Amino acid sequence: GAVVSQHPSWVICKSGTSVKIECRSLDFQATTMFWYRQFPKKSLMLMATSNEGSKATYEQGVEKDKFLINHASLTLSTLTVTSAHPEDSSFYICSAKEVTDGGRETQYFGPGTRLLVL
Amino acid sequence: GQNIDQPTEMTATEGAIVQINCTYQTSGFNGLFWYQQHAGEAPTFLSYNVLDGLEEKGRFSSFLSRSKGYSYLLLKELQMKDSASYLCAVMDSNYQLIWGAGTKLIIKP
């Protein structure tokens, strides 16, 4: 089946630095990718929808200047956490939507990136 | 390699009970998640099992057997709104999530 990868798996950084997380669809093209944040009670919060070749659509309450999303190609979307602070420490998960020739849509999730900001 | 297996699609009748199975082979185990996802929406957290046994939460229950690499999600008193995809995901020893492809559940009147 389709595979979505994320890099890095883990990142520890100092407060004030920026961190880039990559999300790749490995064997299919994804015009749409999604970025989620997992909270301690395991719920997933959709942060933004990343569309190839256009600006991302952010959910209410998510700062677009803080969480920069770039969907530069059909297989890669990046999330950059700018000027990270300890409260940004979380588990970030991406997913990619595959649309088959028959129009069937399937969403595949990545393994997640654990960010710890000191 | 690591993999999660769950049925692609299941059909059930309103008011009935359905069990969605999930088997896994992962490098290590730090818990198993079930999420519900309606088309076009973000997944909603249903359950998290890290110890063997059954956990009940309203109409939904989740069971885990770590020795068998097996879990199921049990939905009782099915309602039409339960039509959705149900995702099984395991957190491995590196705290990475390994996702199943999801089970599309169709509820018929």
Is residue B100 within 8 angstroms of chain A, CB to CB? no
Which chain B residues contact residue A10 at CB under 8 A?
A: 94-95
- Residue B10: is it exposed, middle or buried by C-beta count within 10 angstroms (0-12/13-18/19+)? middle
Peptide bond into A8 cis (omega under 30): yes
pLDDT tens series, chain B, 109 aa? 788 999 999 999 999 999 999 999 999 999 999 999 998 888 888 999 999 999 999 999 999 999 999 999 999 999 999 999 999 999 988 888 899 989 999 999 9
> What is the predicted pLDDT for the residue at A72?
83
3 state SS for chain A: CCCEEEECCEEEECCCCCEEEEEEECCCCCCEEEEEEECCCCCEEEEEEEECCCCCEECCCCCCCCEEEEEEECCEEEEEECCCCHHHCEEEEEEEEEECCCCCEEEEECCCEEEEEC
Which chain B residues contact residue A93 at CB under 8 A?
A: 97
Which chain A residues contact residue B44 at CB under 8 A?
A: 43-44
Per-residue model confidence as pLDDT tens digits over A45-71: 899 999 888 889 999 999 999 999 999
In this predicted structure, the answer to whether residue A100 has a pLDDT above a threshold of 90 is no
> What is the predicted pLDDT for the residue at B7?
97
Which chain A residues contact residue B39 at CB under 8 A?
A: 105
Is residue B102 within 8 angstroms of chain A, CB to CB? yes
Which chain B residues contact residue A91 at CB under 8 A?
A: 95
> What is the predicted pLDDT for the residue at A10?
93
In this predicted structure, the answer to whether residue A41 has a pLDDT above a threshold of 70 is no
> What is the predicted pLDDT for the residue at A1?
59
> What is the predicted pLDDT for the residue at A99?
87
* Closest residue on chain B to A97 (Cα): B40
In this predicted structure, the answer to whether residue A44 has a pLDDT above a threshold of 90 is no
In this predicted structure, the answer to whether residue A40 has a pLDDT above a threshold of 80 is no
> What is the predicted pLDDT for the residue at B64?
98
Residue with tokens 């100092």: A14
Is residue A112 within 8 angstroms of chain B, CB to CB? yes
What is d(CA B54, CA B56) in angstroms, rounded to the nearest whole number?
Answer: 6
> What is the predicted pLDDT for the residue at A2?
65
Mean pLDDT of A88-98: 94
Is residue A8 within 8 angstroms of chain B, CB to CB? no
pLDDT classification of A89: cutoffs 50, 70, 90: very high
Residues 77-96 of A with CB under 8 A from B: 91, 93
Residue A43 corresponds to which tokens in the numbers above?
Answer: 């719920």
A1-4 contacts: CB < 8 A, separation 24 or more? A1/A108, A1/B101, A2/A26, A2/A27, A2/A28, A2/A96, A2/A98, A2/A106, A2/A108, A3/A27, A3/A108, A4/A94, A4/A95, A4/A96, A4/A108, A4/A109, A4/A110
> What is the predicted pLDDT for the residue at A62?
94
Q: Which of A8, A30, A27 has its CA nearest to residue A91?
A: A8
For B33, other C-beta atoms within 10 Å of its C-beta total 24
